[in-house]
Structure 1
Amino acid sequence: MNIIGINGSPRLHGNTATLLEHGLEGARSHGAHTECINLYQLDYKGCRSCFSCKRDGPGYGRCAIHDELEPILNRITNADALILGTPIYYGSATGEMRSFLERLLFPRKSWDTWSSLVERKIPVGVIFNMGATEEQMKLMSYEPHLRLIEQFIRDIFGTCESLYVTNTVHVDDYSKYRMKYFDSVGKHQRKKEVFPIDCQNAFSMGAKFALDTK
């Protein structure tokens, strides 16, 4: 059983990476082999609209771009589950995560039948981490954008579960930055009291995926 985590954050040890690691730890607790891919360490770009993946022949349904993302996409073909993690930048996933999703999802969509080309459906989870509070998330209409990402994933892989983690800290010491808009005291208090629960929820997601794929 192989479960792959995809970190769409530039921070290798930040909130998103921490949540993702708890998700993978949950999977390992039930015997899964896991690996974590940090997108910001790879040299790649998004879809080039070459339509090679839609051309008749041996390359049908496969991205034709040869770069550092290619072997990752190949490994995902044999994965039993995926857990994606991304911070929210301007109301949506990071640019690297969106480019990754373009390359992952678009080749696997049939333009003959408008259905998925993936025969073996696998569970996919997305951890959305954001500095915004739940109220700010609703005020700025984040949710429709994030639900659309979920729907695109569900359309290809059959399922998509999400974990929304809100009001996380941006930096350790807010006094060094011009960020007075944010309640730094409240954020650090939430990190102590609520973030551990978020991490446990991520753990539970990974554990569930491992059990579901046994």
Structure 2
Amino acid sequence: MKALFVNGSPRKNWNTHKMLESAMEGAAEAGAVPDLAHLYDSAFKGCVSCFACKVRNGRTEGLCAFRDALTPTLEKAREADVIVVGSPVYFGYPTASARAFLERLMYPLLAYKVGEMRLLAKTVPTAMIYTMNCPEKLADQLDYPLLLGANADALERTFGYSETLCAYDTYQFSDYSRYDVPMFNEKDKARQREEQFPRDLRNARELGKRLVRKAAPQD
């Protein structure tokens, strides 16, 4: 069983990447072969509206026809039994790279049919993992559940199942004294990272396990 994990963060070995690594460990424990792609390692575009994937009797088979540096990752996603996308939250949304990936991933699998918009026959469990500097209470006030939930809704319509996991109030800088951010208390942030982030990592690990088990054939 193949499980693809996609890092939509420009940073490696930081919050989003670590959450994805933990989810990968859980997926591996459940029997999957995890693979990780870093979107910021490649230069690519979002959907270019070529509509090749919507041509009658076309041969794209649910894969974006526009070829660029993202194509190998999209090909892996097309073969995956589980797909997890991780991204930090910028102004209430995933990064531009994560959003571009989602466009290219989902649009070729969208069917413009009356009463049925899902082209994919099998269910592929998916998830979005978000990390954010924003505390949970403030995120609720800013309608983040609604804004970010739209991506899970789209993934569920496309692949049949999706979950969302958020890590709030994350440690943003390795040295807060270097930055002009007086609204943040470094000691509070460090405490949050020491006490809460390990729980977030455990939640990510369980998510990885759960998605793989959901993808496994039922006896």
Q: Do structure 1's residue 167 and structure 2's residue 165 form an aligned pair?
A: no
The equivalent residue for 2:10 is 10
What does 1:65-214 align with in structure 2 at a 5 Å threshold?
Answer: 65-113=66-114, 114-214=116-216
Instruction: Say if 1:105 and 1:198 are closer, same or farther in 2 by CA, change over 3 A.
Output: same
- Checking the alignment, whether the CA contact within 8 Å between 2:4 and 2:82 is kept in structure 1 is yes
- Checking the alignment, whether the CA contact within 8 Å between 1:54 and 1:60 is kept in structure 2 is no
- Checking the alignment, whether the CA contact within 8 Å between 2:129 and 2:164 is kept in structure 1 is yes
Stretch moving more, 84-93 or 137-146: 137-146
Question: Residues of 2 paired with 1:93 and 1:68: CA distance?
Answer: 20
Instruction: Say if 1:12 and 1:135 are closer, same or farther in 2 by CA, change over 3 A.
Output: same
| TM-superposition CA deviations, 1:5-59 (whole Å, max 9, x none) | 0000000111000000000001111221111000000121100111111112223
- Checking the alignment, whether the CA contact within 8 Å between 2:118 and 2:158 is kept in structure 1 is yes
TM-score (norm 1): 0.96
- Checking the alignment, whether the CA contact within 8 Å between 1:52 and 1:60 is kept in structure 2 is no
- Checking the alignment, whether the CA contact within 8 Å between 2:7 and 2:17 is kept in structure 1 is yes
Question: Residues of 2 paired with 1:150 and 1:187: CA distance?
Answer: 28
Identity of aligned residues (%): 34
Stretch moving more, 132-141 or 99-108: 132-141
Question: Residues of 2 paired with 1:172 and 1:139: CA distance?
Answer: 27
Q: State the shift of 1:170 in Å.
A: 0.7
Extract structure 1 runs of 4+ deviating beyond 6 A: none
- Checking the alignment, whether the CA contact within 8 Å between 2:123 and 2:215 is kept in structure 1 is no
Stretch moving more, 149-158 or 104-113: 104-113
The equivalent residue for 2:28 is 28
Amino acid of the structure 2 residue aligned with 1:87: P
SS in 2 for 1:104: helix
Name stretches of at least 5 consecutive residues in structure 1 with no aligned partner.
none
Question: Residues of 2 paired with 1:197 and 1:60: CA distance?
Answer: 40
Q: State the shift of 1:193 in Å.
A: 0.4
- Checking the alignment, whether the CA contact within 8 Å between 2:88 and 2:132 is kept in structure 1 is yes
SS in 2 for 1:58: coil
Amino acid of the structure 2 residue aligned with 1:75: K
TM-score (norm 2): 0.94
- Checking the alignment, whether the CA contact within 8 Å between 1:154 and 1:160 is kept in structure 2 is yes
Instruction: Say if 1:61 and 1:122 are closer, same or farther in 2 by CA, change over 3 A.
Output: closer
Question: Residues of 2 paired with 1:23 and 1:31: CA distance?
Answer: 13
Give the RMSD, CA atoms, in angstroms. 1.2
